[in-house]
Structure formats: C-alpha cells, structure tokens
Amino acid sequence: MKKPMKVVIIGGVAAGPKAASKIIRLMPNADVTIVEKGRLLSYAGCGLPYFVSGVVKEEKELMSTPVGVVRDPIFFRKVKNVHVLNETEAAEIDRAGKRVRIRSLADGKESWLNYDKLVLATGGTPVVPPIPNVRLKNIFTLTGVRDAEGIRAILAEEKARDVVIVGGGLIGVETTEALAYKGCRVTIVEMLPQVLNIFDWEMAELVEQHMESHGVKVLTGTKVVSFQGNGKVSRVATDRGELPADMVVMAVGVRPNVGLAKTAGLEIGSTGAIKVDEHMQTSDPDIYAAGDCVQSVDLLTGRPCFVPLGSTANKQGRVVAVNVCGGSDSFPGVLGSTVCKVFDFCVARTGLTETAAEKLGYEVTTALAPGPDRAHYMPGAAPLLLKLVVDRDTRKLLGAQAIGRGAGDKRIDVAAMAITAGMTVDQLANVDLCYAPPYSPAMDNIITAANVARNKLDGKMIGISSREVHRWMEAKKEFVLLDVRSAAEYEEVRLPGAVSIPLGMLRDRLGELPKDKEIVTFCTVSLRGYEAALILKAAGLKKVRVMDGGLTMWPYEKLPPH
C-alpha cells in the first residue's frame, strides 16, 4: 500500500489553512500538519479593526466558520483531518533531508518533521521603524489578535483619550474609524504628502476631508521623531510639533516574513518577498509558498509586486493545494484591487493610478464621474465618485478608483474584470449590466465614466483637473471660471472668483463672455458643465474646458456667499 504523502505547512492564519483544507479534499489520505507559531488559527486578520471598535463582539467570531464553529486544533483534526501544532515555531528547514526542525514555545522541546512537500505561509511582519522609545508601553501594531486585545483592554479602561496613528495607509485608515467610533481623539501622522498613497491625490484628499469631518486630525508630510513618556507613551514628537498620546498604533506597513526561506537558501524576489512561479512553486520544486510572504506579478505591467491581502492569500493557498496534489493550477497575478470602509465612505481601487501609469510611460486620459449610485429618486441613493484611468493609445482601461457613500465596491469589481479582460472603454460603455432603480441608475456609474473617457478621447470634451484650475487661480492667470448651476445652488456655496450663469440662461447671455480668454465650465458634477461647453463651442468660442468632476471633486476650500 502506498504511503500517504506528508505535507508540512508553516503558517496557520490564511494561506496555510486554505491549502491544508483543499489538500485533504483532493487527497483525503494525505498526512497534513500545520505548524503555527501563534495560539490562534485561521483568524480573519482584516476583521481586527472591527474587533477593536466592538462591531465584532468576541475574538472567536474572527476564527469561526459561517455557522459559528471555531476553527481550533480540534476542529482541524476532527473535521479536516489536519494535524495542528500551534504555539510551535519552525526553526529550520533541512532541504537535503526534507525535514523541518520545530520548537515548542511552551517547553522549548525540539523535534524534526519529515515532509514530501513543504508549504511556506509565514505571512508578513509589521514594519516598526527605529524611532526612539518605540518600545514604550501602549504602542501597538495591529497585525494580530493579541494587539487587538491589548488595544481593546486600554479602551475598556477608558485610558486612551488621545490616540496617534503613525501611517495613513489602509491599516491606519481602517483603525482610525475603529478608534474614533470608541470616542478617541485620533490624529493620523503620515510622512508622505497624502494618505492612501495607492490612490490619486484628489481622491485621497477627499478621503482626508471626510475623516476630518468626523473629528480626525490628519497631518500629512509629517515625520515622527520620537516617542516620549515614563514607562508608557504620553507624547509623540514630530518635525511639526508634539502631540499628546495615551496610545499609539504603528501602521507603517508590512514586510514579508522570509527569514526561514532565506536561511534555507530559497530564492528571494526583487520585492524582498519569496520568489514563486505561476504555480506558487519556489526555487525548490518540493517547496511551495503563498500569502503575505510571497511576491506576486502585476497583471498590467508584468512586473513583480508585493501586495499583501487576505483575499490573495486564500486564492494562492488553493493553487498551492492543487499543485501539491499533482494538479496544474496557476495564479496569474494581481491588480491591487482593494476596498476599505472609512466611516460611511466606501473607498476602493484597482489597477494603475494616473500617477503610476504616467511613471510607466503611458499616455493617459482620465475620467471623473460623480453621481448617485442608484436612481436619484430612490430612497437611499448615495453619492459615488468614480475615476477611470485609460491608455490613450489603445483606449484600454488601466485603473479605476471609487469614493463615496454609494456602492463603490461593485463598480471597482466590474473595472477589475474589464482590466483583466483587456477591455477598452468603448466595450465597457456597452456592457450589459443589471439595472433596476433600487440598485443603479439606468446608465450605471461606471458606464457613465466610460462615456466621459470616450468623449475626451474623441475630442468632444476637453477636461481640466481641479488641481490645474487651482494652480491657475494661485498664479492669477486670466480665465473665466463659469458656474452653470442654478442661482440657488450658487448662493449656497461657490468657488472664489466664479462667474454665475445658470445653464438655462447661457444661450441668452453669451455676449457676457469674452471670446479671447480660456473658459472653464463646471457645475456640481460637470454634466451641466459639459452641456455648457458644447453650447459655447457651437457659438464659436474655442478656448473652452470642463472642470473634471465639477464641484463634487473640488478638494480645496469652497466658499459660502458673502
């Protein structure tokens, strides 16, 4: 009788348990062992901010099946037929002997595990910069349940009124909401010029404004110099002054945990993560790797990238299992599709930003399309701001971003499919998407955005970004900023220096506009601005542009009437 295949999996959070479960489904007699350094298994790391806020009441909910069964060692043994050695460290890989040296964290005892196939799912390690006094008490990362428990304990004792979050990426932004929800005064300190650097500046600026409207202080372009306190943190010193802090959350980022792989002589990629092929196989044909410890391939550029996400880890874990069991599955790469919740905003993106695309040498056209996420007359209709990035030469979609209270996730999912399929905006504009008033406008937001891009590509609309308009204003350039909203809208809020001519009066008041100056038209979302531009062009005015996205996408100060 053939001996069962021995598979050792190092790492028991996302990719590891996924690989183990799939291996047993494909090969029920396999001898599968998970070695996990921590106490807890297969927990939803992405749910930690919601555990901190109390939306998720108990930690066991983060490691339970949809029917409420906790995924602990007993569950894996009885249900999955997988052996679990938790609170056990993998100390060494002996590739020649095909074995792993393990050490019990409880008693320090060591032993060897033999394997036929080895899977590395060692995850990532939070980046903790060498800032003076970074080891003071009440300074946390948020990459494990233990951190979340520590933060919750301090919040429960009401000892964290002022909280500083170092880093304005996804983890920092999601943690901000959780802490603000608990009544903390939160300050984000971000060294880069904007939060959420995976978005273009104007979209990130709108997120920043939204956080500030919820009482969060956002300091961009600011560097933490040191932490201060007697035993536990009490102040954060930055290059722009000091901040009070009862607690600090370090959310600078994650680096791949590759120490074990590197010591074993496995090839490390240019991103610093483990290099794998499309089958998730390392440079050793009997060792596979998946999750936050491996580098991926960018589907658009073909270049190596490091994008640690739980969704990616689970997909890669499944691919590993199929190939370990003799199949032939592959993981093609990623687009960096990401979504997070920022208070009541959905913030999502996929593919390339405008900035990234230009750095790669693309000639890009962008489209900004604000609008309600369902028929405007339906209760619950919410604003959604979409940005598309398009290759001007091929007209293919390169990237998309969505921000607002509306359902941005489904539009970004559509965009991700379109990019994966290599679709042009012309094809996207005619995709047969579902329509019913409770779910979308008759022309879905992403279809409208695609049509805006088509109009620009075809020369029917010449756009100008709000940033460029703002630069013109600061440089005191002579141009007409034409607001074609109604008089009532203009009275409610306006841009400095804007001339008000409602769209319905424009044809009768053409004589008021100079023919030798640049004219920039806009309205709330620039739909009327586009109509106005067409009227002006038909009347012979040549220097007409439409401000992309209108007043909704203006990330600077708006002025009420005097």
Gap between the Cα atoms of 410 and 232, Å rounded: 44
46 classed as catalytic: yes
Query: What b/e string do you get for 370-398 counting C-beta neighbours within 10 Å, with b at 16 or more?
Result: bbbbbeeeeeebebbbbbbbbbeeebbbb
Gap between the Cα atoms of 226 and 234, Å rounded: 11
Gap between the Cα atoms of 132 and 507, Å rounded: 65
The H-assigned helical ranges of 421-521 are 425-428, 445-457, 466-474, 487-492
Gap between the Cα atoms of 304 and 267, Å rounded: 14
Phi, psi for 364 (deg, rounded to 5): -110, 150
Phi, psi for 281 (deg, rounded to 5): -95, 135
User: What 3-state DSSP class applies to 360?
Assistant: coil
Phi, psi for 172 (deg, rounded to 5): -60, -45
The sheet carrying 88-94 orders its strands as: 88-94, 99-104, 110-114
Gap between the Cα atoms of 120 and 143, Å rounded: 19
Residue 80 has what DSSP assignment? I
Gap between the Cα atoms of 493 and 554, Å rounded: 12
Return the structure tokens found at 526: 């620039």
Return the structure tokens found at 98: 């095909």
Outline where DSSP puts E strands in 413-531. 463-464, 479-483, 499-500, 518-522
CA R_g for the chain: 27
- Residue type present at position 411: R
Determine which one of 46, 184, 305, 434 is catalytic: 46
Give the pairing type, strands 117-120 and 6-10.
parallel
Return the structure tokens found at 113: 């595990």
Gap between the Cα atoms of 26 and 328, Å rounded: 13
CA 16, chain centre distance (Å): 23
Which positions are catalytic?
46
